[in-house]
Amino acid sequence: MKNFFFLLFLILPFGMSAPILNQTGNLLQNGSMEGGNFSPVTSSSGTSAAGYWYQWRNSSTAPTTEMITEAEMQSWYGVNVIEGTAALKVKTYGSSDGPYTVDGFGHSAWTSAGINNVPYTFSAWVYVISGGMYISAGSNAYGYNNTYTTKVGQWEFLSVTRTGNRVDELLLYSSGASEFIVDSLWLNSGTSSLHPYQQVVPESQTIALLFLGILLIYGRFYRIR
């Protein structure tokens, strides 16, 4: 029985939330997507549900943004958020709708780093529920560089680099009527992403189930009482 509780103790940490990454080098405020409004925000322009991010529509219907918890992410989609205990959910009804931010929206590190002809790389983790989306780095006056999602129903790491002109605006826009979740955003100067976490690892509940299976086998063969 002592062995049983010892193994159970080993399993418990795998059900815990992923820690918030060290944000050193990230020029974004709220890059971990922990701060914001956990009630839906439907608006054609103005503040989104995520802190330091606004939202915009280019189609005829306003998008909706909402912060969701890790428990909701697990219940609805069977996966964890990427870091911390929350993520941003976005629902759009047309193309080029969704959250955006600019250097003047309180991102003090981004502003102080300068924006003229400095290469920047913007990265994000995205979970597409339906449709598709893209991340952009650039300027409304000088254009954008984009990277598009290619997967549905799983987390995908996206990164886009812009090497010339201004990088004073970042977009999380839909490719059409879409629903998606974004988490763990990162902006750094330079031509490659410095995001410390760029590959998917097994979900915590998957690891826990694996250990539980081992535990059950252990109990069967060694008759834990």
Distance set, CA 193 to CA 23, 46, 73, 197, 199 (Å) = 13, 29, 26, 10, 12
pLDDT tier at 219 (50, 70, 90 boundaries)?
low
Q: Is residue 158 part of a domain?
A: yes
CATH code for the domain of 127? 2.60.120.260
* 57, pLDDT greater than 50: yes
Q: Which of 124, 128, 125, 144 is nearest to 136 (CA)?
A: 144
- As a whole number of angstroms, the distance between CA 15 and CA 11 comes to 8
Rounded average pLDDT over 38-62: 97
pLDDT per position as a tens digit, 80-102: 999 999 999 999 999 999 999 99
Q: Which of 136, 132, 138 is nearest to 124 (CA)?
A: 136
Q: Which of 20-29, 129-138, 158-167, 209-218 has the highest mean pLDDT?
A: 129-138
pLDDT tier at 204 (50, 70, 90 boundaries)?
very low
* 46, pLDDT greater than 50: yes
Helices (H), 56-115: 70-77, 108-113
Picking from 20-24, 67-71, 83-87, 98-102, which range would have the lowest pLDDT averaged per residue?
A: 20-24
Domain that holds residue 92: 20-203
Q: Is residue 165 part of a domain?
A: yes
Q: Is residue 220 part of a domain?
A: no
Pair of tokens at residue 56: 């915009």
Quote the number of domains for the chain: 1
Q: Is residue 138 part of a domain?
A: yes
Distance set, CA 178 to CA 40, 93, 126 (Å) = 16, 7, 12
- pLDDT for 114 equals 59
* 224, pLDDT greater than 70: no
Q: Rounded to two decimals, what is the model's pTM?
A: 0.83
Q: Is residue 56 part of a domain?
A: yes
Cβ atoms within 10 Å of 194's Cβ, excluding its own = 16
- pLDDT for 10 equals 40
Average confidence score pLDDT of the chain: 86
**Treating both helix axes as pointing N-terminal to C-terminal, what angle do 204-222 and 2-11 enclose, rounded to 10 degrees?**
170
Pair of tokens at residue 104: 């003047």
Picking from 6-10, 28-32, 72-76, 174-178, which range would have the lowest pLDDT averaged per residue?
A: 6-10
Q: What percent of the chain has pLDDT over 70?
A: 80
Q: Is residue 42 part of a domain?
A: yes
Q: Are 61 and 37 in contact (CB under 8 A)?
A: no
Q: Are 97 and 56 in contact (CB under 8 A)?
A: yes
DSSP helix/strand/coil, 119: coil
pLDDT tier at 146 (50, 70, 90 boundaries)?
very high
* 220, pLDDT greater than 70: no
Q: Is residue 112 part of a domain?
A: yes
Q: Is residue 210 part of a domain?
A: no
